Structures are given as structure tokens and as C-alpha cells.
Chains A and B, each alone.
Chain A
Amino acid sequence: MTGPIADAVDALMWQAFGLMLVIVVPVIALTLFIAWRYRASGGSGTHQPDWDHSRAVEITVWGIPVLMIAILATWVWEKTHALDPYKVLPGAKPLQIEAIALDWKWLFIYPELNIGTVNELAFPVGQPVTFRITSEVAMNSFMIPALGGQIYAMAGMETKLNLQANETGTMQGRNMQFSGDGFAGQTFEALSMSQDDFEAWVSKVQDSDTPLDHATFAEVRKPSVDAPVRYFSTVPPDFFSKRVAHFMGMEHEMMHGTKAANE
């Protein structure tokens, strides 16, 4: 189970790891070798007690780390931009999903489809997904490890994450930021499915007999541990943005839109 982001991160990790091994392995080996060779009891090395400076050595020991960090720095600049979680992935038009962290579960809203779920996420394989993320409670961090990295979920703020799955299957997603007693069980299933299956899944959610109205939301918002999956047939318009604005005490200013504080 992978996606383009996760694959790129994996590759970057091995690349950086490999480059550093070029220095780290010799340093460890040299440390052990020198310690053995120059041991006081029976070592075979010469003793030069006053040798404390060598221009060639100094240039080398500053030069090697500088060179290595210079290489890594170019990778950092390039990859941080290429793999920016806010960057919309190329290809088909992304599916919009909004994620709201609650104690201790996730509420997902599909604004274009006007449906919502608790602790279950579905999207078509191969289609980019754009998440808008916020929290109703303490700070959370949204992550589907099989697909890529995490982004904080913070009340009164909106963050973004772009992901895509390359294969169909079931993955686990979760909150990564400790948020209280139910944190360990704050997971959800992320289902990557074919377009047909996804449409069937949407109909199934639409056929649920519960709309996400104020009363339902008040009930969902109550803290619960290992909350079961729930489906909501309809969701009020602009639900996500209103929840973000709610914390800023400006629900009535909705027409101006909301902005993440650190966007």
C-alpha cells in the first residue's frame, strides 16, 4: 500500500541515509580501530604526545561535513518544495475532504458530496485528495502513515494536506499528537477503492438515516474512546469553515472566509 508522496519520502530517506553512511561507518570503524591500535597496554601505534595540529587534517575535518551538508541542503530545498504537503498533486481534479479532530475520533466531511462520516475515510485509487484539517479539541496531528506525512490539526485554524493512493486497500490513519486518555485508540480506516466502489460507498453513506445537524454534532462531539464508524447522509453547508471560525468568535463574518493563522 503506497502513494506517490510516501514513495518519494522513502526514496529520499534511503538516499540521505546512504550518503551519511559514507561518513558514519568509517568514523565508527576508525574510532574502534584507533582505540585498539593506540592502546597503552600492547598497542602498536607510535606515541606523539605533542601532536595537536595539522592544517591538512583541519581542512579535511571541516571540509567533509561542509561538503556533505551542502549536498543535503540542496536536497532539502528541492524536496521540501516538491513534497510540500500544501501542494496539490498533479493529475485528476482532487477530491476534497475535510477532517475535524474530536476527542478521540475523526469527523470527515465531503463538501462536494455533502456527506460525512466518523472514523472512516474512502477515496478513489489514483485520484489526488486534498484535506482541510482542523480540531475541535486539543491539538491533534492527522496522518495516514502508508500514504505520507502528518499535519497538525488546531482549533480555530485550518491546515492542508495532499495525498494520493496508488493501490486499492485498507490503511490505518490516526492522530499522532498526544491528546488525552483516548489517544491510543484514535484511529480510523482509510479505504482506497476503485471509482465504482467509491460511488457505491458514497451511496451507502447517503442512504444513512442520520443527517449531521446541530443535535447530532453535539452528540458526536462528546468525548468517546474507540468510537464506532458512523455515516451522515447530509452535512450543512460550510460546516467546516464555520467550525474553524467558531473559535475565533466570528461566525457571522463567514463571508470573508477563514485563513489558517500560519498559512
Chain B
Amino acid sequence: MTEHVSLLLGRLGPDALPFYSWVAFSGALVTLAGGVGFLAVVTWLGQWRALWTGWLTSVDHKRIGIMYIVLALVMLVRGFVDAIMMRLQQALSYNSDGYLPPEHFEQIFSSHGTIMIFFMAMPFMTGLLNYIIPLQIGARDVAFPVLNAISFWLTAAGAGLMLISLVIGRFSTAGWTGYPPYSGVEFTPGVGVDYWIWSIMVSGVGTTMTGINFVVTILRKRAPGMLLMRMPMFTWTGLCSSILIIFAFPALTVATGMLALDRTLGMHFFTNDAGGNMMNYMNLFWIWGHPEVYILILPAFGIFSEVVATFSSKRLFGYPSLVYATAVIAILSFTVWLHHFFTMGASANVNAVFGIATMVIAVPTGVKVFDWLFTMFRGRIRFEPPMLYTIGFMCLFVIGGMSGVLLAIPPINYSTHNTTFLVAHFHNMVIPGVLFGYLAGYMYWFPKAFGFHLDPTWGARSFWFWLIGFLLAFMPLYLLGLMGMPRRMETYGNAEWQPLLIVAFIGACLILMGIVCLVIQLWVSIKYRRALRDTTGDPWDGRTLEWSMPSPPPEWNFDAVPVVTTRDAFHEAKYSGTPMKSVPQPGTLHVPRNSVVGPCMGFGGFCVGFGAVWFIWWLALAGLAVAVGALIGRAFVQNTEREVAPDLGAKTT
């Protein structure tokens, strides 16, 4: 490489500023304004100390969970802006350049996918796991509270790298999958792919630790009597998802790490020449990537299971089936990665085996849908927003499942791979499947976290806009894919594609309305929080332990840890009139003290990433020193807990 690398600033120079197009400049401006605006508001309100002690250094799983979800919602907006920009470009660009130059369009589709998977869906899921699972299993916190904070801050550091790539330098143009050799320096020099690599590598380390944390939490911190087969479905799915994280994420770290070695040190793992082989990357990437789909969707299935039972006022139908189906999906998810590249020219035997393995996953998934259906059967269904999202999911998800089975048939895959049919399929999985699930969970558990409801009218409006918007945005993409339209087209010359792309753009506009409704819902709910107050702690007539405590729960969760004697123990106790027994408690409890290790690790991780992207090696080393120093420093902290007395605690009931 011939580019100039200085000792102080690496390859960072004035050309890194976004003056190359008005779109890039506006994006940078909005990002900066958002950051500065946030700092200004906190300063104006004089809340720096409260923010620092109450949130940023907190190791309380509930606070961390909320911070994860705030991060996810912010990134949802950012990722959606990318989405609607792409839809507008394609609606306009029949026989024309549209309004985006190719390089810019490429950055947008790359950042859209990266953000939505790594910095919207993952934090949203992790936030829900964080908030709910300890409450559902009767634990006072996760197994490793400080590690939990470190996980969050590393995720935030990755998201920070994503956001700063809008202002300083450019983002990757190689798609969210970063396939080499295109993502190698030969075809994509510059910092874009490096931003992509380091943002997902830094956050991926955090995610791996989250997986470890939750497996240990669920296996070791359950209340007495909470046998595995008495755990709520959301906890079960969280367990399976965490196990998948532990096994899958190292593959991603290795794949992106090797790509970084190729790019930065001139190695040849995935290059065209010198013995590199790009298919090795693809295998590694999808050995992570396919389980990743289930890492995201299993907890959503768990949420649907909780919601459908609660709002049908009925026990969950076929609980053992659902548990086994979840476990089977988790195991099978590691056996199908090759279906992401049937078209590499493998033999018919190989492709047929992986095609059939893929279809087999439809069996446990189908069982789940039937079990939810039979949970509703002979229930008393209340159409609160979480339930609306669940019913919408059940209707749309089977369509996505159907297109998934079609894609799993290799001869059909040869024709539909790389087309918008594939794009429609996976959005059909992740919008109704993953996102509807998380939104249902957000509206379901919000009163638990904050002590007041989210406004149901605006919740229902958001649902209808999302539902219809989704159909309009993605059904045309199925058709376009069958007509042979490739994904990632900046411009095209086929007149018959344009009307469908305009419909898809209108769908994206309706989804925008859905997001606006979510924002209004939050605003209206905060404004009228007195009227929407939940004083019972159990606003939905819930079934699981998190509803047995006040909303919001005290810092130590349970005044007295309950003894669980059956599945849905809280619901049983509520209706039988005999309260749950609890473990005798000492007069005082210990809760972990705040820790600065999390923010230090996040700051260090950000510096490592930023330094490695720009070849500012002193910064990368300094960041590493901060991160490692914080960890070592933590080992010398003796006084890690403080005492609280539950009886003196502020209770809302």
C-alpha cells in the first residue's frame, strides 16, 4: 500500500471529513447534532452525576437491560434511515442514477444490515434477557454483574465506531457479510471494511461474554424449586440462545480477525492469490451466521410464548413440546450453514443433504406455531398491543417459513439466491419474527420496568403501520426476485421492476409511520404516566415470577426469594389463595457496588478499534492498556458490595 501513514494520526487526514456528498455531510451533521444535543440536554438538566452513578457505572442487570434497549431503539432509527434511503434510490433509479452515487448506496446497504443485526437486534435481545431473566428465575442479579456491564460497554463501543464512521472516514461497501475477496484491500482499500470489522469484533467480544453470563445465571441462580422444566419459556429460549452465542460468536471473531490480518498485515487467508480461499471465510462466517438467526429469533419465540399465554388467560399449550422444539432448533442451527452458498458448485449430494437438514428445522418451528395456536384455542384473548404483534407474527411468519423452505430446495435456490426473493425472505423472518417479538416484549414488560403502561392506542397504531408497511415493502420484493432482480442494485434498466419498487418504497414509508407511532407512544405515555400507572405490579394478570414484585422492582429484585413448586407458580398462588413460600432471608442483603470497569473497557475497546481502523497504533495500544488496566485494577477492589435492608427499602406497593 502506498498511502501515507503518520506516527501520530495514522492514515487519518483531512479527506476523512464527509464533504464528498451532501448526503454524507447531512448524515454526519445529524449524528453530530444528536451527540451534542444529548450532552447539552444532560448538562442543562444538571443530571451528569445522576447519569453517572445511576446508569453509566451501574452493574444492576435492570439498568443495564434498559441501556441496551435504549441503544437498540436509537440504532433502529439509524438503520431504518438507511433502509428508506435505499428504497427511495431504487424507486427512482430506473434508467437513471437516482440520487445516490454507487459508493454511497453501497455504504448504506452495508451499514443497514450491520446495524440492524449487530446494533439493533442483538442489543434489543440482550436488553430483554438482562431485564427479565433474573426476575423470571427468582435471582437477585446475573451471575457476573460487572462482566455484564463490560459486555454492554463493549457493545456500545462497537455502536460508537459505527456512528463515528459517518463523521470520520467512510463505512464499508462490502455488504453486511463482508465477503472476500471483495472486502480485501485489493478491491476495497480505505477504512470502510476496517470500521466494519472492528465494530463487530469489539461488540462481538461483549456478546460472547453475555452468552457465558446468562448460561451461568440460568443454570446456577434459579430460585429453589425452579427446575429446568419449570422455567418460563422466555428463560428457556434465553438459555438456548446464550449457548448458541458461546459456540457461534468465536467463529465470527476468527473470520473477521483473519480478514483484518489479510487487510492490515498483508496476509493471504482469503485473497484471490497466494493460496487464499474466499470460501473458507464464507464457511466460517455462516457457521456463526446461521446460528445467529436463531440466537435472535429464539428469545422472540420465548416472548411470544409468554405473551400468548398471558393474553389468552390460559396455560401455555404443549410446554414440553416447546422446550424440546427450542432445543432441537438450537442444535440443528449448526448443521445448515452451507445453504447460504449452495451456488458455490458443491456436488448434488452435499447440497441435497444441507437442503434437507434445513427443511428439518421447519418441523420444530411448525410445532411451535401450532402450540401457540392451541394456547389461544379455548382462551379469553385480550388484544393488547403485545398480543396484536403476536398474532401478526403468526400470520406473517408462516409465509416467511414457506419462502425459506423454497430457498432450501437447491435447484430453486440456484435461481433465487442473491435476488430480492432472498432479501424478502430474511426480512420476513426478522421483522415479524424477531422485531415484532422484541416490540411485543418491550410493550409487555415496560410497565414492570417503569411502573406505568405504554399507551395502548398508539401501540396498536404502530402495529398496524408495521404490519401493512411490512407487507407492502416486502411482498413486491418476492415478486421482483422471481423476476430475476438481484439484491444491491444501485440502478437498473428493467421497466417492469419500477412499479413494484415504488410500492416497496410506499411500504417503507408506512413502516416509518410505525416508528413515528412508537416514538409518540413513548412520549404520550411519559406525559400521562400518572393515568397509566400500574400499582399492582401485575398489570396483565401474568403468570411468571417477574409479576410477583412491585413495578419497578427494587434494586435487589426479591425482598424474599420465592420457593417454586410448579410451572407458572405465581399464577397458581394468585388463584389458589395460598401465597408462595419463600426462603427465610437475613435482615440485610448485599448488592454489588457501581463499577467504572465497564465504561473503562468500553472506552478502551473503542480506542483499540478506532486506532486499528486508522493505523493509529499508539491509540490502539493505549486503549488496550486502559482496558486491561481496568480489569487488573478491578482485581484489587476489595469492597465490591454494599448492604441494603429490604424492609427499609422504598416499596411502591
| Chain A residues packing against B (C-beta within 8 Å) | 6, 8-9, 12-13, 16-17, 20-21, 23-24, 27-28, 30-32, 34-35, 38-40, 43, 45-54, 57-58, 60-62, 64-66, 68-69, 72-73, 75-77, 79-87, 137-139, 141, 143, 145-146, 148-152, 154-157, 159-160, 174-185, 187, 247-249, 260-263
Contact = CB atoms under 8 A, between A and B. Distances in A.
A57 B314 contact: no
Interface stretch (B114-122, B482-490, B555-563): B482-490
B176 to A, nearest CB: 11
Identify the interface centre among B316, B345, B399, B412: most chain A CB within 10 Å of its CB. B345
A183 B367 CA distance: 42
Nearest to A52: B315
Interface stretch (B68-76, B131-139, B352-360, B620-628): B352-360
Contacts of B418: 141, 150, 176-177
A50 B646 CA distance: 35
B395 A39 contact: no
Interface stretch (B27-35, B51-59, B374-382, B527-535): B374-382
B179 interface: yes
Contacts of B346: 262
A181 to B, nearest CB: 4
Contacts of A247: 272-273
| Size category of the binding interface on chain B | 35 or more
Given A12-B411, A80-B351, A138-B182, A178 B314 contact: no
B314 A49 contact: yes
Given A40-B381, A150-B418, A152-B344, A61 B279 contact: no
B318 A61 contact: yes
Contacts of A30: 373
B468 interface: no
A129 to B, nearest CB: 16
B319 interface: yes
A200 B391 CA distance: 62
B241 interface: no
Given A53-B317, A139-B181, A262-B279, A32 B272 contact: no
Nearest to B418: A176
A176 B419 contact: yes
A175 to B, nearest CB: 8
Contacts of A263: 345, 347
Given A61-B318, A247-B273, A261-B277, A49 B313 contact: yes
Contacts of B649: none
20 contacts: A9-B415, A20-B402, A23-B398, A27-B398, A32-B391, A34-B377, A35-B391, A47-B314, A48-B314, A58-B318, A61-B366, A61-B370, A62-B367, A65-B366, A69-B362, A83-B414, A139-B179, A150-B417, A182-B102, A184-B489
B428 to A, nearest CB: 12
B373 A34 contact: yes
Given A81-B352, A149-B411, A178-B486, 12 more contacts: A12-B412, A16-B406, A27-B398, A38-B379, A49-B313, A53-B317, A61-B367, A82-B411, A141-B343, A145-B484, A160-B345, A178-B487
B617 interface: no
Contact of A46 (B103, B182, B378, B488): B378
B633 to A, nearest CB: 46
Nearest to A29: B395
B348 A81 contact: yes
B345 A69 contact: no
Given A40-B381, A52-B315, A52-B319, A183 B345 contact: no
A50 B380 CA distance: 12
A260 B345 contact: yes
Contacts of B493: 187
Which 4 pairs across A and B sit closest by C-beta, in order of nearness?
Answer: A149-B414, A145-B484, A61-B370, A65-B366
Given A48-B378, A178-B175, A261 B490 contact: no
Given A178-B175, A261-B279, A72 B391 contact: no
A123 B481 CA distance: 26
B409 interface: yes
Contacts of A160: 345
Given A184-B492, A249-B273, A262-B279, A27 B373 contact: yes
A66 B363 contact: yes
Interface string B398-440: 1101100110111111110111000000000000000000000
Contact of B102 (A13, A174, A184, A261): A184
A252 to B, nearest CB: 15
A54 B377 CA distance: 12
B369 interface: yes
B278 to A, nearest CB: 6
A58 B53 CA distance: 51
Contacts of A157: 345
A234 to B, nearest CB: 27
Nearest to A74: B356
B22 interface: no
Nearest to A177: B418
Contact of B274 (A61, A150, A249): A249
A138 B187 contact: yes
Contacts of B258: none
A156 B102 contact: no
Contact of B315 (A32, A51, A151, A260): A51
A73 B356 CA distance: 6
Interface in B212-255: none
B484 A57 contact: no
A34 B376 CA distance: 7
B102 to A, nearest CB: 4
Contacts of A85: 345, 414
B381 A38 contact: yes
Contacts of A50: 314-315
Contact of B380 (A28, A47, A68, A79): A47
Contact of B181 (A61, A73, A155, A183): A155
B187 A137 contact: yes
A80 B395 CA distance: 30
B373 A262 contact: no
A77 B352 contact: yes
A57 B380 CA distance: 20
B356 A77 contact: yes
B383 interface: yes
B182 A62 contact: no
A40 B344 CA distance: 53
Identify the interface centre among A53, A79, A139: most chain B CB within 10 Å of its CB. A139
A17 B321 CA distance: 27
Contact of B402 (A17, A86, A152, A184): A17
A84 B395 contact: no
Interface in B323-366: 341, 343-349, 351-352, 355-356, 359-360, 362-363, 366
B491 interface: yes
Contacts of A57: 317-318, 370, 374
B379 to A, nearest CB: 5
B209 to A, nearest CB: 33
Identify the interface centre among A30, A54, A249: most chain B CB within 10 Å of its CB. A30
A28 B397 CA distance: 10
Contacts of A150: 343, 414-415, 417-418
Contacts of B103: 181
Contacts of B106: 178, 181
Contacts of B405: 16, 20, 72
Nearest to B184: A138
B411 A35 contact: no
B311 to A, nearest CB: 9
B174 to A, nearest CB: 8
B498 interface: no
A40 B491 contact: no
Contact of A16 (B182, B412, B488): B412
A66 B419 CA distance: 29
